[in-house]
Structure 1
Amino acid sequence: MSRVDLNLLTALDALLTERSITGAARRLNLSVSAMSRTLTRLRAATGDRLLLQAGRTLVLTPYAEQLSQRLPGLTREAQALLNPADHTFEVATLEQSFTLRAGEGFIDLLGAPLMKRIHRTAPGVRLCFTPKPDWDAQPLREGTVDLEIGTVRTTAPEIRTRLLFRDRYVGVCRLGHPNMSGTGISAEHWTTCGHVATSRIKDGVSPVDAALEGQGLRRKVLMVVPSYTSAMQLARHSDLLAVIPHSCLGNPFTPDHAAANGLQGFELPVLTPAFDVSAIWHPRLDRDPAHRWLRAEVLELCLAAYPREPNAADSLQSIR
């Protein structure tokens, strides 16, 4: 493409339309001599004379006549391609599917409220949730996933993130658990009870287990499952204890979610750091209007669901 000068398209369009070097120069705000030199370049590039003298006027060659039919549309298209993109769009008429990668807890508790919120303004939008087996950023890079929701555990330097809410870990057990009295459960007793742990990575160490190791303690883990929702169901139907994010207990859209599933939450006997739940995407979608709208909808929903940092004042049993 080193020999192609797209500016020649505009000059050729002006020459063939005006059929005059003077008129084309006036149209493009150039000198007559500059336009004459441009015509020379066009003749060399096309291998055709293009404009020929016919008395006091210029006439088009047969090849120039052919070009005059194609050139206006081609020039407009080239100008449109090289102008700043138009990022305006109508959300009410948006017809698009978005692929989101999120944990089962987010889908269970916020999937329906998110769809309800979106359909109020964009009934043509469809959300497709996909499994989240790991934290690999490649699906975001390849475009097979539009938006990820969860903790940021990728080293991909280009990935964009936006904090949705802060979460923390709590314990959960079935209602009426024999080891859960009105005053809670001691740390020593808690570690000797049977536990169901959650891990997507074989032999992975959770923040809770890391905190216990710092105190010389270890949980009695009898089962390991890949999701918090599975851990909650196992705790519901057994005497196993589980550790889940506080957000999985419920929110204003799904109040008493834990109790409705036969579970009760309690504070852990060890301190674990809070963690961020974020929206994660690739920068190629930064300025895409539909994607920006989707990110804003997810953020507003999460702000409504988890408006403050959970603390000990929540109605959870404390550890003695």
Structure 2
Amino acid sequence: MRVLSYRPGMSTPDLNLLLTLDVLLAEGSVARAAKRLRLSTSAMSRALARLRETMGDPLLVRAGRGLVPTPRALALREQVSQLVLDAQAVLRPEQAPDLAELQRTFTLRCSDGFVENFAPALIAHIAAQAPGVRLYFLPKLDKDSRWLRDGSVDLETGVVGESAGPELRVQALMRDHFVGVVHSAHPLAQGELSAARYAAARHVSVSRRGLASGPLDESLAALGLQRNIVTLVGGFSAALALARSTDLVASVPARHTGRLREGLFSFALPFAMPEITVSLLWHPRQQADPAHRWLRDTVRSVCLAALHDDALAADQA
């Protein structure tokens, strides 16, 4: 980031315009920006005129009844937003939130398996510490980063893909591995299981993007094998529902589907399959927020406790 310096005879930039620019780019409307900053529409129009003159770019141009950002405005939007957030963080003393008095709604975007396995303990933990905090869980139907970028989601869990925004903050949450799942009377629940026997069975495959194959199939292809895939679904919950009521084999991440697999027969895959890393993702705008940091720490501690309890239960079984 370029540091603004002052020299005698040099006009000093009006840094208040940064806040104005941030709100204008976020709202895309002079009237809405004026309302947000508690200014008159004419005052906001004058501020936009000053910005245009200062920056040598129209920034927002009319398109029908609305305004659309210019290419330069689009390029500056994230940088300006971060500059304003950094300035606010510098000027505001950082304090740990008073959890007993905290009134906040956090939106988490995650898989059904995460909600099923970890949300009960997370909700109970937060209710005990911060009764005024509410959690909203949204289904994760894709890996589009816009939910975090536009602020409609506070925190996300999942495997980081190539489509994740490069600006996102990422922290590993847990390692997971795939297991096969069938109903208890399925032939694969009996006898020695080989990779060939596994591949020859009838399978339900999981892909949010509708892809016919994935990493599991690549591992089998290295052995010269191919799964007999007869149907495709968009999530692990649906795959397990089919495994419960048909002769289909579902292959799912073990830790994310522990409760969903109750009553079914689970088995280790009879071939090498890389583990996956499930991470927490959030936008940099939330990085310095003490309440958001508390939420991140809480999610991590609850998940670690749940995984520890699962490991103890497995050792005692």
How many angstroms does 1:124 deviate by?
A: 0.7
Q: For the Cα contact (< 8 Å) 1:140–1:281, is it kept in 2? A: yes
Q: Which of 84, 87, 112 is matched with 2:91 structurally?
A: 84
Cα distance in 2, alignment partners of residues 150 and 229 from structure 1: 15
Gaps of 5+ in 1: 7-79
Cα distance in 2, alignment partners of residues 167 and 82 from structure 1: 36
Match of 1:162 in 2: 171
Cα distance in 1, alignment partners of residues 237 and 227 from structure 2: 20
Match of 1:118 in 2: 126
2:147 paired with 1:144: no
How many angstroms does 1:315 deviate by?
A: 10
Q: 1:137/1:165 Cα in 2 relative to 1: closer, same or farther (>3 Å)?
A: same
**Aligned-pair RMSD on alpha carbons?**
2.7
Q: Which of 173, 188, 212 is matched with 1:179 structurally?
A: 188
Greater shift after overlay, 184-193 or 90-99? 184-193
Name the TM-score, length of structure 1 as normaliser: 0.67
Q: Which of 189, 199, 211 is matched with 2:207 structurally?
A: 199
How many angstroms does 1:213 deviate by?
A: 1.2
Q: 4+ residue stretches of structure 1 with deviation over 4 A?
A: 1-6, 80-83, 313-316
Q: Which of 239, 252, 257 is matched with 1:244 structurally?
A: 252
Q: 1:152/1:95 Cα in 2 relative to 1: closer, same or farther (>3 Å)?
A: same
Q: For the Cα contact (< 8 Å) 2:205–2:212, is it kept in 1? A: no
Cα distance in 1, alignment partners of residues 137 and 89 from structure 2: 36
Cα distance in 1, alignment partners of residues 297 and 305 from structure 2: 12
Name the TM-score, length of structure 2 as normaliser: 0.67
How many angstroms does 1:309 deviate by?
A: 11
Match of 2:78 in 1: none
Q: For the Cα contact (< 8 Å) 1:167–1:309, is it kept in 2? A: no
Gaps of 5+ in 2: 1-10, 17-86
State the aligned residue count. Answer: 233
Q: For the Cα contact (< 8 Å) 2:189–2:265, is it kept in 1? A: no
Match of 2:305 in 1: 304
Query: CA offsets per residue over residues 67-97 of structure 1, 9 Å max, x none?
Result: xxxxxxxxxxxxx979621221201111111
Cα distance in 2, alignment partners of residues 242 and 308 from structure 1: 25
How many angstroms does 1:5 deviate by?
A: 10
Match of 2:103 in 1: 95
Q: 1:195/1:315 Cα in 2 relative to 1: closer, same or farther (>3 Å)?
A: farther
Query: CA offsets per residue over residues 129-185 of structure 1, 9 Å max, x none?
Result: 11211111111111111000111113422111111110011101111213321x442
Q: For the Cα contact (< 8 Å) 1:162–1:280, is it kept in 2? A: yes
Match of 1:34 in 2: none
Q: Secondary structure at the match of 1:201?
A: coil
Query: CA offsets per residue over residues 223-277 of structure 1, 9 Å max, x none?
Result: 1111111111110111110100011452xxx5xx523xx2011011221111111
Q: Secondary structure at the match of 1:91?
A: coil
Q: For the Cα contact (< 8 Å) 1:248–1:258, is it kept in 2? A: no
Cα distance in 2, alignment partners of residues 171 and 244 from structure 1: 7
How many angstroms does 1:3 deviate by?
A: 8.7
Q: 1:177/1:280 Cα in 2 relative to 1: closer, same or farther (>3 Å)?
A: same
